[in-house]
A = this chain, B = another copy of it.
Amino acid sequence: MYDLTALREEFPVLEEVIYLDNAATTQTPVRSVEAICDFFYDYAGNYGRGTHRLARETTARCEESREDLADFLGAYPEQIIWTGNTTGAINLISQGFSWKKGDEVLCTALEHHSNLLPWMALKRQGVKVSIIPQKGGYVDPDSVSDMITSKTRVVAVTQMSNVTGTIQPVDEIADITHDADAVIVVDGAQSLGHIPVDISKMDYLAIAGHKGLLGPQGVGALYAEEPQTLSESQYGGGTVTSVSFSDVVLRPPPARFEPGTPNIPGIIGMGPAIRLVDALGAEEIADHEEALGDTLFDALEEIGQIEIFSPRGSPVVSFGAPGIHPDLLATRLDEMAAVCVRSGMHCAEPYSRTFCDLGTVRASVACYTTSEEVLILADTLRELFDSWDPDSEPEYVPEPDRWEKSRCP
């Protein structure tokens, strides 16, 4: 096990709050923030766009981060396409195929909206999108076998649910997918950096920079085993070798898929973060987070009054307290003990609704979380329930969408 005390010094905010919203975003280590500052103060130039020292240094550092990610995955750098987020990576795939009417896509009932809506949008092109059922947070490979057809081109599956942390049998699903001559798209937003991830059977892996990899928000990536088989769906500077008004020659992948100035500081910040995660070790992190999940599960179970939706040992623990709105519960935890948890649908509404029509409260740990922290969550919940008087609580009304009243013409 790594040195947790030393690790936590990389994340100063952990002294201020009990941060258990790591499935939304992890914290970023000081070493990454310092790399970002070095960029801004010492050598900021644009990426791949100049011969001068700043542009060269900037480009070299960005490519170092790409190599770090490739090494971490066991891939080639040219198989790594930088995107703005996981969502961007999945849209890049869903829009990078030539679809024809009658093509089929299989999605699971567990997916985050970002691995669901890009596929559902293909219905307009006559693509049939079918939902593989889940049971207890897991997809049964037999269901995939039952549903896959000769028309199936893509099977899209999350590796780890962002609602319950359940890990899917992606290797088995990949075998079934490949037997049907389809490709598998794995949403790795919640898995990478939390558990060991083996890409050897994956055609595509959508990657979040700001979750298990501890990087800054605004960086995602797509691992594509054969990036040259995708078509580009966004167009702009940096993607082409030559342009005339009648003709365009594309650059090889990954460049053709990265139009415009990328999130340079974010990409540069990814490098030290990935190397830190790699040094801790995915196995070690998974063991640590599973132990935390056990501790939290047991503590919540002991309280009673709580319905736990995640299995024991999951690093993402969804739960509910009957009669208390999840948002209100999350708000009170923050007010009482600076415990930061997420509440609601977690951008995975179909799955979250299977637990409660108001969604769940979700506590999610990271490599730097301590068992003391998850026990503070449990203690605060106990304290809250002890003093809970539904009659003294004003009825909870969620805030309206901030954009509800538009002043646009």
Interface residues of A, Cβ cutoff 8 Å to B: 12-13, 16-17, 19, 21, 24-25, 27-28, 30, 32-33, 36-37, 40-47, 49-55, 63, 76, 78-79, 84-88, 90-91, 94, 109, 112-114, 116-118, 120-121, 131, 208, 210, 216-220, 225-228, 234-245, 248, 251-255, 259-266, 327, 330-331, 333-334, 338-343, 347, 349-350, 401-404, 406-409
Contacts and interface: CB of A to CB of B under 8 A. Distances in A.
Contacts of A350: 243-245
A216 B268 CA distance: 12
16 contacts: A13-B42, A25-B261, A50-B330, A50-B340, A50-B343, A55-B342, A76-B408, A87-B234, A87-B261, A113-B243, A216-B264, A228-B408, A238-B347, A245-B350, A251-B401, A265-B266
B408 A253 contact: yes
Contact of A87 (B41, B44, B236): B236
A263 B349 contact: no
Given A33-B37, A235-B91, A218 B24 contact: no
Given A84-B263, A243-B350, A225 B55 contact: no
Given A113-B243, A248-B117, A252-B401, A84 B260 contact: yes
Contacts of A113: 235-237, 239-240, 243
Nearest to A117: B235
Contacts of A50: 21, 24, 330, 340, 342-343
- A49, A52, A252 interface centre (most CB from chain B within 10 Å): A52
A358 B164 CA distance: 56
B262 A52 contact: no
Contacts of A251: 401, 403
A116 B243 contact: yes
Contacts of A90: 236
Contact of A263 (B218, B236, B240, B327): B218
A401 B265 contact: no
A198 to B, nearest CB: 17
A373 to B, nearest CB: 14
A218 B264 contact: yes
A33 B37 CA distance: 7
Contact of A260 (B21, B114, B234): B114
Nearest to A23: B46
Given A85-B261, A88-B260, 10 more contacts: A24-B55, A76-B406, A85-B262, A86-B261, A88-B259, A118-B235, A220-B260, A227-B408, A228-B408, A255-B403
A225 B406 CA distance: 12
A134 B232 CA distance: 29
A350 B245 CA distance: 7
Contacts of A88: 84, 234, 259-260
A227 B19 CA distance: 36
A99 to B, nearest CB: 14
Contacts of A406: 76, 78, 228, 252-253
